[in-house]
Structure 1
């Protein structure tokens, strides 16, 4: 099973092993921490990261857009890693294949492009948060006054699973709790935070491999 459904304050989301959630009601593909431009940023600073990282992430996003028949792609922060660079230009050219798709960004701490650049890329930008029906989207968890279920990213959540003979594995995950869902980082070029939510009560993890998703009780 490569996906699972959860109920978020009456709204049904499908969580996918491909690091996105899908909201069928609005045909909306929801991701966080895509960090487009990160590999080019590292190369510019002398760390040789292959450009194939971006290519693979965009190819996966294209496949998801087509398989879910999405009308909207919403990125919950850190869509871009830093300033405008060659990777962002690659994204711009890639995006031209989807003139019918609405791209929305709720800004995160790494999103530093100018308003003019976002407009040039055809991306609708929300500075602090976005309310859609019963769901409130923001990058980091600052939802004390949000009217509805809160969906965030930012921490790149993961789980640490230890088996027999000291064998262990770290896997990305979605983190579900009362009124809150944390999305995994979409980019394959990110680390995992396996500490922030591990000791919190009332938390449910939906962790996954490339092919299967598993949920804790």
Structure 2
């Protein structure tokens, strides 16, 4: 269900949902939820089931209840675009959250900051904490380890009979880890690991380190 790693003498837990928990900071990191995307698709005629609207909120609730963090940091693209009815679901979800909630703004986060502030959500362009840099877009900055999202990283796993699977993953190199997209229907950008990369694939409610 989870995989533990250590970076700069800090301890992190990778969860099969795509979330990452920073133990010392009691902080849950989640990237690219893209709330409102399902409703956006349905509005323009895509055959996405109405039940999928609640999928992201159920998943969010599950991982928050699992870790019970004091802080939740969304690493950008919390919402897919402008306001739609899923904002009402988000308001209801926030009513049951006792954690401090922070949004590191991403390129899709175009909803007015005043709407977030009314719910107690704090917005930042980036966060620097100890030797860690939290951003939406992957970034290299000397002296820091970067946690980010945006890419929706995935890898292709090939079978013996030409079968292949595209699976989401945590994608790590020496100074950076890109989190998988947390949200449903977000797609995956296939990356090609090199020797210096560590790839933690999400499959069957497990986090699996590829060798």
* Pairwise same-fold verdict (TM > 0.5): yes
With normalisation by structure 1, the TM-score equals 0.91
Which residue of the partner structure matches residue 89 of structure 1?
88
Q: Does structure 1 residue 14 correspond to structure 2 residue 13?
A: yes
Structure 1 gap segments, 5+ residues each: none
- State whether structure 2 residue 111 is matched by structure 1 residue 113: yes
Q: Does 1:167 align with 2:163?
A: yes
Q: Distance in 2 between the 1:38 and 1:122 partners?
A: 23
**Aligned ranges for residues 4-83 of structure 1 at < 5 Å?**
4-83=3-82
* Deviation (angstroms), 1:101: 1.2
Which of 200, 213, 217 pairs up with 2:207?
A: 213
Structure 1 position 143 matched with structure 2 position 152: no
**C-alpha distance in structure 1 between counterparts of 2:133 and 2:27, whole Å:** 14
Post-superposition offset of 1:49: 2.5
* Residue matched to 1:133: 130
Structure 2 residues not aligned, in runs of 5+: none
8 A contact 1:40–1:87 mirrored in 2: yes
Secondary structure at the aligned position of 1:144 is classed as coil
Rounded Cα–Cα distance in structure 1 between residues aligned with 2:68 and 2:81: 30
Q: Assess if the C-alpha contact under 8 Å between 1:77 and 1:108 holds in 2.
A: yes
Matched residue SS, 2:123: strand
Report the alpha carbon displacement of residue 66 of structure 1 after superposing the two structures with TM: 1.4
Cα RMSD for the two superposed structures: 1.5
Three-state SS of the structure 2 residue aligned to 1:139 is: coil
Q: After TM superposition, where is structure 1 displaced by more than 4 Å over at least 4 residues in a row?
A: none
CA distance in 1: counterparts of 2:35 and 2:120, whole angstroms = 15
For the residues of structure 2 that align with 1:143 and 1:190, how far apart are their CA atoms? 25
Change over 3 Å in CA distance of 1:26–1:201 after alignment to 2: same
User: How many residues get paired?
Assistant: 211
Query: Whole-Å Cα distance in 1 between the matches of residues 168 and 106 of structure 2?
Result: 20
Counterpart of 1:182 in structure 2 is 178
| CA gap 1:44/1:121 in 2 versus in 1, 3 angstroms | farther
Deviation at 1:194, TM superposition (A): 1.0
CA distance in 2 between counterparts of 1:200 and 1:107 reads 30
Task: Choose from 124, 138, 149 the match for 1:153.
Answer: 149
Provide, for residues 91-112 of structure 1, a one-character-per-residue CA deviation record: whole Å limited to 9, x for no partner.
11121011x2111110111000
User: Are the aligned partners of 2:137 and 2:150 in contact in 1 as well (CA < 8 Å)?
Assistant: yes
Task: Name whichever of 165-174 and 39-48 sits farther off.
Answer: 39-48
Deviation, structure 1 residue 31: 0.7
